[in-house]
Structure 1
Amino acid sequence: MKYLFLTGLFALALIRSSAQGNYDVAKIPEDLKRDAIVVIRNEEQFFDIKSLGSGQYDYKVAITILNKAGDDFAEMAEVYDKFSSVYNMKATLYDASGKKIKDYKSSDIRDQSLISDFSIFEDNRMKLLKFVSLNYPYTIEYSYSKDYKGLLSLPSWRDLKGFGVAVEQSVYTIQKSKNYQFRYLTSANLKTDSVAIGEKIQYKWKSSKVPAVVSEPLSIGLDNISSWVKASPNQFEYDGSTGNFNNWQNFGSWMYSLNQGGNKLPDATKALVQNLIGNAKTPQEKIRILYNHLQQNTRYVSVQLGIGGFRPILAEKVAQVNYGDCKALSNYMKALLNEAGIASNLIVIGNDMPSLNPNYSSMGQANHMILCVPLEKDTTFLECTSQYDPMGFIGYSNADRKVLMVTDKGGKIITTPAYQPKDNYQIRKTKITLAEDGTGILNLKSKYANAQFEENQRMMLLEPSEQRKRLIENSNIPIDEMISFKYEQPDKTLPIITEELNFKTNQIFSKSGEKIFLTINQVNKREHVPLKVDNRKTFFAVPFGYNDEDEISYTLPKGYSVEFIPKDISIVSEFGSYSAKFANKDNTLTYIRTQTMNNKKYAPEKYNELVDFYKKIFQADKQKAILTKTL
């Protein structure tokens, strides 16, 4: 008996020792700790599709937080609504050696609403636990289960959760009945294992020993280097609605069916429409009048209630309350146009997301809705959530994307208009009057269009006091005295903003004896060059293509003339082009700078070439003229 008792104690101690050793940081391979802020020790994601409209998701993960930069990963957070429930949540904190520090109780887990500032109807909630440790490294482990009532989509999976994240092991399994049909996409070269287990089939994907990737400038994501899976049902049931997602045409048919009967307007609104367009001569005039009416009389709010997250609020309801989400406002505009005898189509789009995959239809590739008005000789797209955008301007984050047009015959993939670099322009003329003491008076007149209109639109909408404050804070030239400033949108039908600034500065050039050394480009110059990245991993792109044209004319101080000006400069690459021209005539020094950048996706190995291109521009923008005293 004594022998058995001691053997039992030894076995128990061995089990405890083994458990503690599982998360010992010392056991993480050095190549996984290199460049990492966290290491995913083990992740298990299991989704069991129980029927057309139900499923169970089981999730378990252990993450080692190596330093303070990784604290954002130290939380358990899961969203649910009336069509899902989260339960069986467990969480544990371990120290660096893998010793258990704390088991969290259910009372430690917050259950909070996810109603956002712009939402008034939303049933999403979150169960949240934030882990806290003052000592690094530490490890968190948590798990939970989630039941779904309605399957519009299936959980996705990715091994790399972000930059600075390494992975020891991550596994994703989908289990389904033999008769259930679904589709999936995977990253290149990711192996799919499938096995039949009784009446079920399991699909499994796994990843192991993946080192962290350091954050890279201008990166467009980790898709090309991470392992990932996206999955979607074919037939589905959700909130009393059924449909089929096996292609975009059927997807569009489902969206169209959700809005059946939703375009009716109250009689008073119909009469208002007819009164508004009474004197309009063309369809374009009618569209403009009704779009202006929409902007002036409605506001955006989010609605996320069950199928209401996908079905627009009835047009007659929007007419009564004067608010709605992107679906409701787009549908309301559609109803207004219909009353005016103009046909239009709802557009499902991924705002600031990649284009829809034409060969793979699924929920989750889009997050927004706009409106398309196809006329005989022109097609107009309308962003119905903005109270300030001109008619036809949908914003850079909606431009040049494959989107889904919803028609009575189903969905159709089309492409939204593209804004080329020449369309996203900034044109600026600057006059600078120099004084011998180094001070200057500046007058800047700028014009911003399309994507650059978007960048400056918020500035135009600020109060003058806030405009003044930001101008002084953000000016490349120190502002000694702000004389005047003005922002305008001269033509409300065009996405163009004008800006005029007048100010004094006391730091415009340097002086040595009777010579003045003047950096010629004062207002739009490259201030730094990014570092080169050896063995870059991710693709990159500039935020948007653009064209900047700057002309600066200097009135020289009395008694001074130009002794030296640089030669003209021209730089051309696949990323864009740059030119600088210098001229001196009648005591006026003139500088003309043009830079065009292309918005394309570039392979990782091209990045250092971009740095070289920027370096040449940086040097060109530092060119100086020499003025000498003649009297």
Structure 2
Amino acid sequence: MMKRLFAATVLYISIVVSGLSQDATINNHEISYKINSNYKIHSEEFYSITVHNKDGYDLAVYQDYYDKFKKVTAIEILVFNNQGKKIKKFNKNDVLDIALNQSYEIDDSRLLIKDPEYGVYPFRVEVRVSSTQKGFIGLPTWIPRSTFNLEVIKSSLVVEAPADFVIKSLVENEVEFKKEQILLENNQFLKYTWSVRDLPAIDNDMVYKEFINKQPKVRLTPEKFAYDKNEGSFLSWSTFGDWFLDLNRGRDSLTVETIRFLDQLEKTDTRNVIGQVYQYMQDRTRYISIQLGIGGFQSIPSHIVDQKGYGDCKALTNYMKSMLEYLDINSNYILVKAGRDVPDVIEDFPSNQFNHLFLGVPMTEDTIFLECTSQTQPFDYVGSFTDDRNVLWIENGSSQIIRSPIYGEDFNRQQTVSKVTIDKNGNSEMQNSIEQSGFFYESFQRISQLSATQLEQYNYSVFPYKDFSIDNYEVIEPKNSDPVYTAQYNLSVKNLARNASSKLLIPINVLQPVDSYLEVNKYAKFAEIRRSFLVEDEVELSLPDGAYTQMTPENVEISGDYGSYSVTLTKNETSILIKRRIKIYKGRYEDEDFAAFYNFFKRIKSNDTKKIVVESKT
């Protein structure tokens, strides 16, 4: 929905995850912003970076953006070899100017990019950039060391603003700060300086999100702002919400055709009416990104969405809201930082922390949440893109942070019923029926967009076997608006069981290992389970002709603070029924907590490898 309204240039462009070495060193990085009373900003940035190997090369590639509000006025790029000799010099005319994001269908932002075109290591790049911006709604978060294997010798951020211009800051993890009063152009200004020194390179032995959480950083936001001549305030979430409402007021007109549809709806069941309107919107529209100036925040009118059949998240959400308002059904915008694993919005720091918009419809007993940008999203399900996080519920005079829907383990569920026939050589034929709901359902949304070749590749990635073929595949699509679907597979699997003399050794878990559901890195000593979930497997294992079960592992049940795990085996003369159940709770574990969680994980993994011993009667 919203573009980066103001961004630093290059040092936030990539995550280098390639080995345990120092890939680059920032010798010095200086960013300064001068803000005047008319909400204009002049910025200067200088950085010197030494690249030690090819894994650090991307950090030496200059990148920045501009649009109708921001202008890059000067660029100088110098390249030095290992002896300190200047070997290349570039200016603004040498920089490639392209669309900021090719996926944006309507956009006025441009990307500036310049590769140093040098590969004799080590080498040094120095970049100096000047730019101006008319109006802004925020300043970028300053993170001096933004990636693994990057050393920072010295880095600083300077902001100069009129003495009566309030800038709020949130500082994390040991940053030096200085505030002083200065005289600029015969006016009193305040100068704020944040700096760090001697940050060593950190190896990539932790997840990136946790790495960023532990970095020195400074978040900045103005108490008052202006964008495209629209003034607003971050005095509170309520004042910001009122600004957003004012910006989008009076954009609710509808076409005659849509009004005709709304008039003919049976109004007896409000929830059913909302569902019909939601389906109507999904059938008539598609999502595109619109990033034209203030369009990062302001919706295009609903009647244009009606006529054109497309819109961005603001336009489609506003379109849905307009139709509900016509039916006298109240609804509320919800601003969110969307993404699968993004940092949460900081509740006590009102600022522009959002990139997406969806809709909430308050009901007597609960609230219906509607994601309006997807033609396939089930009714009243927002999914992993916006679930379980701080969001801004926008309401005139009382906008506030609330928590988006949290889907628990009874909702995020995968149930597999499998019939497995094993021959005397350990090969097998399998019939699997896999029902997925909640978070697991989202795989259906992905596969529904794949080509036949891509779908085949995806299906083969689903199973852990080394040598197998998929003989038949079928999807039973959802028959209603619930996020549930079923996939059916017929498989031929070689060596599912292992031959040992005259015996067959069959693992009690012939389906997905626990690693498929949990990413646990013992070296990182950190794990985060974002969503509780439940996996239930029922396997009917048919034995080869003339075989009998010599030994089966005992039934197991493990439970604790992290979840539960159980396996039960019931045998008769020709088959064994295996029931396996894994329930994992949402949680975040590090240090000592991680050690206990990892031990729980290992117990599950170890038990899954236990064997059933089958022997021939002859």
Shared fold (TM-score, shorter chain, > 0.5): yes
SS of equivalent residue, structure 1 residue 398: coil
Amino acid at match of 1:286: V
Using the TM superposition, name which of 405-414 and 54-63 deviates more.
405-414
Counterpart residue number, 2:539: 552
Name the residue aligned to 1:351: 338
The partner residue of 2:163 within 170, 178, 193 is: 178
Determine the structure 1 residue equivalent to 2:608.
621
Q: What residue number does 2:90 align with?
A: 104
The CA distance in 2 between the partners of 1:106 and 1:524, in whole Å, is 54
Letter in 1 for 2:60: A
Paired residues of 1:52 and 1:235 also in contact (CA < 8 A): no
1:239 to 206, 211, 228: 228
Deviations 1:1-22 (A, max 9, x none): xxxxxxxxxxxxxxxxxxxxxx
Report the counterpart of residue 3 of structure 1 in structure 2. none
Q: Which residue in 2 is equivalent to 1:272?
A: 261
Secondary structure of the residue that 2:133 maps to in structure 1?
strand
1:280 CA drift (Å): 4.5
Structure 1 runs of 4+ aligned residues shifted over 4 Å read: 463-466, 478-481, 527-531
Q: Deviations over 1:396-454 (max 9, x none)?
A: 23112221122232522222110113321111111101122333211111111111111
Give 1:232's aligned amino acid. Answer: T
For residues 478-493 of structure 1, what are the structure 2 equivalents within 5 Å? 478=466, 480-493=468-481
1:550: Cα distance to partner? Answer: 1.2
- Give the AA of the match of 2:230: S
- Further displaced range: 409-418 or 162-171: 409-418
TM-superposed CA distance for 1:35, in Å, is 3.3
Structure 2 counterpart of 1:158, from 134, 143, 148: 143
CA offsets 1:218-254 (integer angstroms, 9 cap, x no match)? 4533344211111111122221211111110000000
1:339 aligned residue:
326
- Contact kept? 1:151, 1:233, Cα under 8 Å: no
Question: Is 1:429 aligned with 2:417?
Answer: yes
1:123 aligns with 2:108: yes
CA displacement at 1:522 relative to structure 2: 1.6
How far is the alpha carbon of 1:271 from its aligned partner?
1.4
Asked whether the 8 Å contact 1:472–1:478 carries over to 2, the reply is no
Q: 1:444 maps to what in 2?
A: 432
Segment drifting more, 328-337 vs 484-493: 484-493
Q: How does 1:472-621 map to 2 (within 5 A)?
A: 472=460, 474-478=462-466, 480-526=468-514, 532-533=522-523, 540-621=527-608
Amino acid at match of 1:114: L
Instruction: Indicate the residue corresponding to 2:373 in structure 1.
Output: 385
The 3 A distance-change label for structure 1 pair 70 and 373 is same
Name the residue aligned to 1:61: 47
Provide the C-alpha distance between the structure 2 equivalents of 1:617 and 1:138, rounded to a whole number of angstroms. 49
Q: Of the candidates 360, 372, 379, which is equivalent to residue 372 of structure 1?
A: 360
Cα distance in 2 for partners of 1:255, 1:383 equals 19
Query: Offset at 1:527?
Result: 5.6
Q: Which of the numbers 285, 294, 297 marks the counterpart of 2:281?
A: 294
Using the TM superposition, name which of 198-207 and 325-334 deviates more.
198-207
Q: CA deviation at 1:175?
A: 0.8
1:476 shift after superposition: 1.8
CA shift in 2, pair 1:188/1:59, >3 Å: same
Decide which moves more: 386-395 or 231-240. 231-240
Is the deviation greater in 102-111 or in 372-381? 102-111
2-side partners of 1:609 and 1:74: how far apart?
A: 42
| Cα distance in 2, alignment partners of residues 453 and 435 from structure 1 | 34
Q: Match for 1:420 among 379, 386, 408? A: 408
Cα 1:589–1:349 change in 2 (3 A) is: same
Deviations 1:42-65 (A, max 9, x none): 100111112242011111111111
CA 1:142–1:404 in 2, change beyond 3 Å: closer, same or farther?
A: same
- In structure 2, distance between residues paired with 1:608 and 1:98: 48
Partner-residue secondary structure (3-state), 1:183: strand
Residue by residue over 1:90-142, the C-alpha shift from the partner in whole angstroms, topping out at 9 and shown as x without a partner, is 1111223333221224332112222432x222111121111232222222110
Shift of 1:316: 1.1
- 8 Å Cα contact 1:476/1:522 also seen in 2: no
1:80 to 58, 66, 70: 66
CA distance in structure 2 between the aligned counterparts of 1:469 and 1:78, rounded to whole angstroms: 37
The Cα offsets for residues 302-348 of structure 1, whole Å up to 9 and x where unpaired, read as 11111111001111111110100000000000011112221111111
| Residue aligning to 2:193 | 204
- Whole-angstrom distance in 1 between the partners of 2:399 and 2:468: 58
Q: For the structure 1 residues 174 and 166, does the alpha-carbon distance in structure 2 shift closer, same or farther, using more than 3 Å as the test?
A: same
Deviation, structure 1 residue 465: 5.6
Q: In the superposition, relative to structure 1, how do residues 548 and 256 fare at CA in structure 2: closer, same or farther (>3 Å)?
A: same
Q: Deviations over 1:489-528 (max 9, x none)?
A: 3333100111111122232222233211112212111469
**C-alpha separation between the residues in 2 aligned to 1:401 and 1:321?**
33
- The aligned residue for residue 285 of structure 1 is 272
Query: Could you tell me the percent identity over the aligned residues?
Result: 27
Higher radius of gyration, 1 or 2: 1
Instruction: Give the 3 Å change call, closer, same or farther, for CA 469–183 of structure 1 in structure 2.
Output: closer
Letter matched to residue 182 of structure 2: I
Equivalence for 1:38: 24
One-letter identity of the residue aligned with 1:121: I
Which moves more between the two structures, 552-561 or 581-590?
A: 581-590
Partner SS state of residue 586, structure 2: coil
Structure 1: how far apart are the matches of 2:20 and 2:406?
41
Contact 1:533–1:607 under 8 Å retained in 2:
no
Q: CA deviation at 1:605?
A: 4.8
The aligned residue for residue 14 of structure 1 is: none
Which residue number in structure 2 is paired with residue 21 of structure 1? none
With normalisation by structure 2, the TM-score equals 0.91
Residue 117 of structure 2 is matched in structure 1 by: 132
Counterpart of 1:36, as a letter, is: Q
Provide the C-alpha distance between the structure 2 equivalents of 1:380 and 1:476, rounded to a whole number of angstroms: 38
Name 1:453's counterpart in structure 2.
Answer: 441
1:316 lines up with 2:303 in the alignment: yes
- Which residue identity lines up with residue 389 of structure 2 in the other structure? R
Give secondary structure in 1 for the equivalent of 2:434.
strand
- CA apart distance, 1:593: 1.7
**Contact 2:40 2:134 (8 Å CA) reproduced:** yes
In structure 2, distance between residues paired with 1:89 and 1:598:
51
Equivalent residue, structure 1, for 2:389: 401
Kept in 1, the 8 Å contact 2:74–2:91? The answer is no
Confirm or deny: 8 A CA contact 2:530 2:587 kept in the other structure.
Answer: no
Deviates more, 1:297-306 or 1:546-555: 546-555
Residues 425 and 495 in structure 2, CA contact (< 8 A), matched pair in contact too? no
1:615 Cα deviation from its structure 2 partner: 2.6
Partners of 2:592 and 2:46 lie apart in 1 by: 37
Q: Secondary structure at the match of 2:528?
A: coil
